[in-house]
Structure 1
Amino acid sequence: MALASRTRRMLEALVREGSLNWLLSRRSSFSEEFEELESSPSAGNNWIPELSPAANIVVRRCSRILETSSSELQESFNTEASDSIKHKSRYARNFLEYCCFRALALSTQGMGHLADKKFRRLTFDMMVAWEAPAAASQSLINLDDDLSIGIEAFSRIAPAVPIIANVIICENLFEVLTISTGGRLHFSIYEKYLNGLERVIKKMKSQSESSLLSAVRSTRGEKILEVDGTVTTQPVLEHVGISTWPGRLILTDHALYFEALRVVSYDKPKRYDLSDDLKQTVKPELTGPWGTRLFDKAVLYKSISLSEPAIIEFPELKGHTRRDYWLAVIREILYVHRFINKFHITGIEKDDALSKAILGILRVQAIQEISSSSTVCFESLLMFNLCDKLPGGDLILETLANMSSSRGLDWGNNILASGGMYSISALTTVLNLGVMFGSSSNNPTEAGLLVGELAVGEMSSLERAVKESRENYKKVVLAQETVNGVKADGIDTNLAVMKELLLPVMEVGKWLLSLVYWDDPLKSLLFSLISTFIIFRGWLGYTLALTLVLIAIFMVVTRFCNQGRPLVELKVMAPPSMNTMEQLLAVQNAISQAEQLVQDGNIVLLKFRALLLSIFPQASDRFAALLVFMALILALVPSKFMLLVVFWETFTRYSPLRKASTERWMRRLREWWFSIPAAPVVLETQKQKEKDAKKRK
């Protein structure tokens, strides 16, 4: 009892002192600072009436970082911003963005800004304030609640710090971070993500500053981005023919290196280049013992510099997450160099492009650290991978290249006067993190590369391209869902569906055959006369054009007539089900028919070979004379009359006047064809070929 009473008195004392206020209250940083602002005698001077309380607090923090007052920030914004940006309906949000971009540009200059808890809280509160920036929207958020942010605020503020997010992948990153919170990002998860970023940045810096591959990397100043195979429980295997070697795999910003493990040390590293244009191919691959293809856990690298592809396997008990991760990061480096080579990007712009790829890989590594889910799509978090996947991704890269080349020309002249109107660049962020490139030893500010992908109050051309591409991608996803829904299993079922779909074409074909065979002489005669007139007058092109117009009119009329009606489904009569034996017999029959078709095709080719080589001289002479006759016709007869003759020959072949002669000539043609011998063929094995080669030597 004495112990219990003593414990109770100690807890009561802690409560009186305020030491347990964090347990007894869920007050946000906004609430505390708002109370401090109310009690301050100079509160009126730092209060912007157009802004909400949350936005005022964020602007106040930004003014402290910039060592100025809120009113002076407002005066600077009014001076630098255009009239459209200062429009009353958008003034609060645009002014808030202006303050945020300026404060973030200054805050990120320190190397340890990600570890600063105040910086983390500031960036999150910027997003909170962005959702309700105007004074009229102050009731939309409760500053005492557990605050969270939506995708729009994250997509607008987070890319202003390129290490946190990127314009192209920010929506996918937000979905990954909010997968367990219903589409709203809470500060706890956001802080966990920044912690992961801080750790992977330290890891990359320590690896790049180490002696690992120092002799090889020094020529290009390559930075190590990832290392694998150093832990015995997670080996990396390289397959060469039927042999397999364990080793260490290293990815830099220019190449992939593999060091085979010997008894006590590593062998000389093999370099698989990713920067030069060597027609590289990087794709998933199946591996297995003795060259079999069983396990989907490997990456294949192929280029014109290698005599045979390199296959690197990432063994794991379940799934292929390691392989997917390595495939994504290898492709990211490959794709960024393809982007650089395609648009001939050099100098500091090249370093900026590499910075984007490096930051993307760091973000993926951070997500790997904080996420236990194995369903993360790594390609969707890497911008160059995503551009390769998205419809219109090439347009995004083209826009990015144009922005990169125009920064020094268009923006560089005005940036000193309007430094807060743009976010910082990826290269500036990487340099602030302490990573130097070979060509970026100069100050990027002097080269004009001062701004990133965001501008205050405006949607950049890159954002517009990304938005359009995402809208198109949604359409592709919906279309693909319909495709997956109509896929049927079984050859017989698919043949039944195809037969039903081709039924109109088959009916048209039957109608044309009936005209060709003169089943109804009157219709065939009328069709022949009309077609002859069209061909003779040269109206065939107009006829085809009219047909296309009629099809288009049919589509438009059908669209308007079917509005509001349920979609008409294609009804297919399902074929009778077959047991296993019947299915095997059907497959065997199909294979036999395919084999017969291949044999017939080979016989035709061999007979033509015999004609060309004059194995049967009499038939070859006739064939040569026929070729000369056809050549004279092609050279002398106008194409209109040639087409007319071909049409007459085809559509009058089985007319009552020509039917008997046609049958007689077709019989003679078959007899002539059957009389032509096939060219000889000798089948030899590889061993016989090698023996013959040795005998010749």
Structure 2
Amino acid sequence: MDTIGSPVSASSIKKDSLTFLKSLFNSTEDDVVDSQAAPLPFLSPLANSVISSCSKILQKPTEELQHCFDTEHPNIMKESLVYARSFLEFCSYQALNLMTRRPDYLADKNFRRLTFDMMLAWDGPSAENELNIETASCSNQEVEDEEGWSLFYSNSTNMAAQVDEDKTVGLEAFARIAPACTVIADVITVHNLFDVLTMSSGHKLHFLIYDKYLRSLEKVIKSAANVNTSSSASNLQLAEGEIILEIDGTVPTQPIFQHIGISGWPGRLTLTNNAMYFESMGVGLYDKAVKFELAADMKQVIKPDLTGPLGARLYDKAVMYKSTSITEPVYFEFTEFKGSSRRDYWLDISLEILYAHKFIRMYNLKKFQQLEALARAALGILRYRAVKEAFQNFPSNYKTLLCFNLAESLPGGYTILQALSSRLSLLDDSSSQHDSVRSPRANRQLRQPISYLTLCRHKIVSIDEVGMDKEEMQQIGDVCVGEINPLEMAVKQSKQDIGRAEAAQATVDQVKVEGIDTNIAIMQELLFPLIESFNHLQRLASWEEPSKSTVFLVLVTYVILGGWMKYVLPSIFIFVAIMMGCNRFANYGKPLEAFNITAPPYRNAVEQLLALQEAISELEALIQAGNIFLLKIRALLFAALPQATDRIAILLVILAVVFAFVPVQYLILLAFYEAYTREMPLRKDSSDQVLRRMREWWYNIPAAPVQLIKPDDKKTK
């Protein structure tokens, strides 16, 4: 499988890169094309413009690029749409590989314009597509304020709706170009990112929205780089390789409250790629941070929960953290006047780190593989934060921008994790060491942690921490020229089950009813066949109709003595399978008829509370009876009543001898006879006497004593 990018010396990267790009995009389209070879006849005007721009960035003639493409991909037929798109991908990927080596490329409007033009050209790459779209010069027509934001961004969707429809990018074009720049999109979540960006623009991506997203992403990345070099990182005493991903609670009007039991205090919460840290607010300073581990396997549970003052469960704005390292759960309350978006955001990013470490342990990843997995999670969190700050948008579980969260929420998401582990298995710890003996072909096939290198280029982490040689850093992305990435295939395969899962969940939501009486009525109707079968067996065992009871007794005796008991359960399974098959062919294509339930009489709220109280009382009595039974068994085991204990011990010895020497089928037959003939006229009087004596004997057995110890309710900080 051929991947994007080719080795380029570091000196050529640094040589006039910034001035070169400026001069490139300040020229017109005709100048760009004329400065290179003649336009390729099989490409559209916009595709020729993009190819010419890539040629100038790579400092290679267009003919040489085409020759390299034909050499590396000889199986792609010329004069076809696939050939034009594949050649465009080949040139675009190599150009992006070179441009993304500058740490400030997201701040360059020319870079943003070129990547968008690459997507436009991918939608219409061949000469048959008459797309006459203005390219680099379009970026000069924007009106920007002092901060660099367009004046139209206050309502970017309405502004974008006025743009010509031909100047919008579709899903497939975005999915083929955006993941080539690792910081912009991940191949696992690229479709979800497109859906979020185009949620209010008719599933078409306009440049204003795309540009707004990249500007927000650039600010978020700069903020993350500054935080990891500020005093906040040193105060937490982070481990080697640990980076800060998010901090909240620093604004006095929006603190985060930590609740343990009935105690609560404000502070700030910090999320890293290994743990969460809470620093309680003191007098002008923060106290020492308390660490909540996410990396080690401590049976951590993170979920939304209710909280409030003095332990009251009033507000649905908290995240609960529980693990084996703490005695009781900790609740982090994210105060917010309206909604719970702040809590939901922290819940998602915390689970992303937790799931990433779970993935690392599941597949036993090595050093560089661990770095790459955590870097993917970190970049996903930065993209999520950029979308949240730019558009105030929170995608649903199936539309999440976090790859590990997506794998957990999608039906069959394990296939995504398997594909990702296969991708990470290409990484080798030895790739960080310079090997002069390695052949050029081996160097070309070298795989490196691209997500981690992206964090290095943006100065969020240091390249020196893992000993990589800066001269060998190559941006080899997940996208492949003319091929679909295995990760993308796994995501598409998993998403095919979303429709069925959502439809099934919709039916579940429809049949949920309120009221104890109504739910009991539904359960009784559903279990009606089993209940009727049990009642029929009870009527047979009561010997109200001796003839039927005798026939059933003889039949069961024949089944047990004839050794047919082992076929009873398989016969039931076969019968149910045949019934299901008949129903399938009889009702093929027909909707399932509704199950008719006779609703119980209406009860008001007070009557329902009284019924609930009565049900709870009955449940309590049942639990008490179970406890008394267990305590009496304990008294027998510890000889609280010696005579009864002696009898039980002798009975157990006799039963042991019987089970050791008597065949099992005779024991089953004996147990059946004893239970079935208990109400038989010949045995009824004697059976009643035996049961009465057993009840009296059981009644005289004392229960083992129980002493309740009150727990210490003192809570200290």
Cα deviation digits, residues 117-144 of structure 1 (max 9, x gap): 22112222222222333444x15x5637
Cα deviation digits, residues 159-179 of structure 1 (max 9, x gap): 221211112222222222112
Tell me what 2:655 maps to: 630
Cα deviation digits, residues 18-73 of structure 1 (max 9, x gap): xxxxxxxxxxx99x9666678x4976x43142x44443333232222222233322
SS in 2 for 1:227: strand
- Give the TM-score normalised by the residue count of structure 2: 0.82
Tell me, yes or no, if structure 1 residue 148 matches structure 2 residue 140. Answer: no
Code of the aligned partner of 1:112: D
Rounded Cα–Cα distance in structure 2 between residues aligned with 1:262 and 1:428: 39
**8 Å contact 1:423–1:452 — kept in the other structure?**
no
SS in 1 for 2:232: coil
Rounded Cα–Cα distance in structure 1 between residues aligned with 2:44 and 2:574: 59
Rounded Cα–Cα distance in structure 1 between residues aligned with 2:398 and 2:83: 38
Q: CA RMSD in A?
A: 3.5
Instruction: Report how far residue 215 of structure 1 moved.
Output: 6.1
Tell me what 1:180 maps to: 200
Rounded Cα–Cα distance in structure 2 between residues aligned with 1:216 and 1:584: 51
Rounded Cα–Cα distance in structure 2 between residues aligned with 1:671 and 1:205: 79
Tell me what 1:69 maps to: 61
Tell me, yes or no, if structure 1 residue 276 matches structure 2 residue 296. Answer: yes
Tell me what 1:130 maps to: 122
Code of the aligned partner of 2:65: L
Rounded Cα–Cα distance in structure 1 between residues aligned with 2:212 and 2:445: 29
Tell me what 1:320 maps to: 340
**8 Å contact 2:258–2:332 — kept in the other structure?**
yes
Residue 92 to residue 634, structure 1, CA distance change in 2 (3 Å): farther
Instruction: Report how far residue 516 of structure 1 moved.
Output: 2.8
- Which of 677, 681, 691 is equivalent to 2:701? 677
1:449-464 aligned at under 5 Å gives the runs 451-464=476-489
Mean CA deviation greater in 291-300 or 551-560: 291-300
Rounded Cα–Cα distance in structure 1 between residues aligned with 2:439 and 2:69: 15
Rounded Cα–Cα distance in structure 1 between residues aligned with 2:624 and 2:274: 51
- Which of 101, 105, 116 is equivalent to 2:97? 105
Instruction: Report how far residue 85 of structure 1 moved.
Output: 8.4
**8 Å contact 2:387–2:393 — kept in the other structure?**
no
**8 Å contact 2:321–2:329 — kept in the other structure?**
yes
Residue 440 to residue 452, structure 1, CA distance change in 2 (3 Å): farther
Instruction: Report how far residue 524 of structure 1 moved.
Output: 3.4
Code of the aligned partner of 1:143: I
Tell me what 1:253 maps to: 273
Tell me, yes or no, if structure 1 residue 440 matches structure 2 residue 466. Answer: yes
Rounded Cα–Cα distance in structure 2 between residues aligned with 1:87 and 1:527: 81
Tell me what 2:310 maps to: 290
Tell me what 2:555 maps to: 530
Tell me what 2:9 maps to: none
**8 Å contact 2:276–2:291 — kept in the other structure?**
yes
1:351-370 aligned at under 5 Å gives the runs 351-370=371-390
Residue 592 to residue 243, structure 1, CA distance change in 2 (3 Å): closer
Rounded Cα–Cα distance in structure 2 between residues aligned with 1:411 and 1:643: 68
Mean CA deviation greater in 357-366 or 536-545: 536-545
Residue 618 to residue 424, structure 1, CA distance change in 2 (3 Å): closer
Any stretches of 5+ residues in structure 1 without a counterpart? Answer: 1-28, 691-697
Instruction: Report how far residue 404 of structure 1 moved.
Output: 0.7
Tell me, yes or no, if structure 1 residue 471 matches structure 2 residue 496. Answer: yes
Rounded Cα–Cα distance in structure 2 between residues aligned with 1:415 and 1:652: 88
1:48-127 aligned at under 5 Å gives the runs 48-49=41-42, 51-81=43-73, 83=75, 90-127=82-119
Residue 132 to residue 451, structure 1, CA distance change in 2 (3 Å): same
**8 Å contact 1:80–1:417 — kept in the other structure?**
no
SS in 2 for 1:686: coil
Cα deviation digits, residues 556-607 of structure 1 (max 9, x gap): 2211111232321101111111123322332232223223222322332233
Tell me what 1:583 maps to: 608
SS in 2 for 1:184: coil
Residue 621 to residue 240, structure 1, CA distance change in 2 (3 Å): closer
Rounded Cα–Cα distance in structure 2 between residues aligned with 1:456 and 1:419: 16
Tell me what 1:162 maps to: 182
- Give the TM-score normalised by the residue count of structure 1: 0.84
Instruction: Report how far residue 193 of structure 1 moved.
Output: 0.2
Instruction: Report how far residue 236 of structure 1 moved.
Output: 2.3
Cα deviation digits, residues 414-444 of structure 1 (max 9, x gap): 9958969999922232222233346434038
Rounded Cα–Cα distance in structure 2 between residues aligned with 1:113 and 1:422: 23
Residue 345 to residue 52, structure 1, CA distance change in 2 (3 Å): same
**8 Å contact 2:634–2:704 — kept in the other structure?**
no
Instruction: Report how far residue 309 of structure 1 moved.
Output: 3.9
1:242-641 aligned at under 5 Å gives the runs 242-373=262-393, 380-408=400-428, 425-437=450-462, 439-443=465-469, 451-641=476-666
Code of the aligned partner of 2:303: K
Rounded Cα–Cα distance in structure 2 between residues aligned with 1:83 and 1:652: 82
Rounded Cα–Cα distance in structure 1 between residues aligned with 2:566 and 2:28: 77
Any stretches of 5+ residues in structure 2 without a counterpart? Answer: 1-23, 135-163, 433-437
Rounded Cα–Cα distance in structure 2 between residues aligned with 1:601 and 1:424: 59
Cα deviation digits, residues 242-269 of structure 1 (max 9, x gap): 4433333322223322333322322233
Mean CA deviation greater in 638-647 or 648-657: 648-657
Instruction: Report how far residue 185 of structure 1 moved.
Output: 1.3
SS in 1 for 2:482: coil
Rounded Cα–Cα distance in structure 2 between residues aligned with 1:670 and 1:260: 61
Residue 684 to residue 274, structure 1, CA distance change in 2 (3 Å): closer
Rounded Cα–Cα distance in structure 2 between residues aligned with 1:444 and 1:275: 29
Code of the aligned partner of 2:481: V
The percentage of counterpart residues that share the same residue type is: 45
**8 Å contact 2:224–2:460 — kept in the other structure?**
no
Instruction: Report how far residue 481 of structure 1 moved.
Output: 0.9
Rounded Cα–Cα distance in structure 2 between residues aligned with 1:629 and 1:208: 75
Instruction: Report how far residue 226 of structure 1 moved.
Output: 1.8
Cα deviation digits, residues 608-627 of structure 1 (max 9, x gap): 23333333344333322222
**8 Å contact 1:423–1:455 — kept in the other structure?**
no
Mean CA deviation greater in 531-540 or 78-87: 78-87
Rounded Cα–Cα distance in structure 1 between residues aligned with 2:74 and 2:691: 83
Code of the aligned partner of 1:258: F
Tell me what 2:140 maps to: none
Instruction: Report how far residue 197 of structure 1 moved.
Output: 0.4
Tell me what 1:5 maps to: none
SS in 1 for 2:496: helix
**8 Å contact 1:101–1:420 — kept in the other structure?**
no
Cα deviation digits, residues 619-652 of structure 1 (max 9, x gap): 3333222222221122222323322333333334
Mean CA deviation greater in 275-284 or 121-130: 275-284
**8 Å contact 1:256–1:273 — kept in the other structure?**
yes
Rounded Cα–Cα distance in structure 2 between residues aligned with 1:632 and 1:149: 82
Code of the aligned partner of 2:100: T
Rounded Cα–Cα distance in structure 2 between residues aligned with 1:83 and 1:490: 66
Rounded Cα–Cα distance in structure 1 between residues aligned with 2:30 and 2:401: 40
Tell me what 2:211 maps to: 191
Instruction: Report how far residue 487 of structure 1 moved.
Output: 0.3
Rounded Cα–Cα distance in structure 2 between residues aligned with 1:373 and 1:671: 70
SS in 1 for 2:316: strand
SS in 2 for 1:336: helix
Cα deviation digits, residues 323-360 of structure 1 (max 9, x gap): 22222222222322232233332332222122111111
Rounded Cα–Cα distance in structure 1 between residues aligned with 2:115 and 2:63: 21
Instruction: Report how far residue 239 of structure 1 moved.
Output: 3.2
Q: How many pairs are equivalent?
A: 653
Mean CA deviation greater in 232-241 or 567-576: 232-241
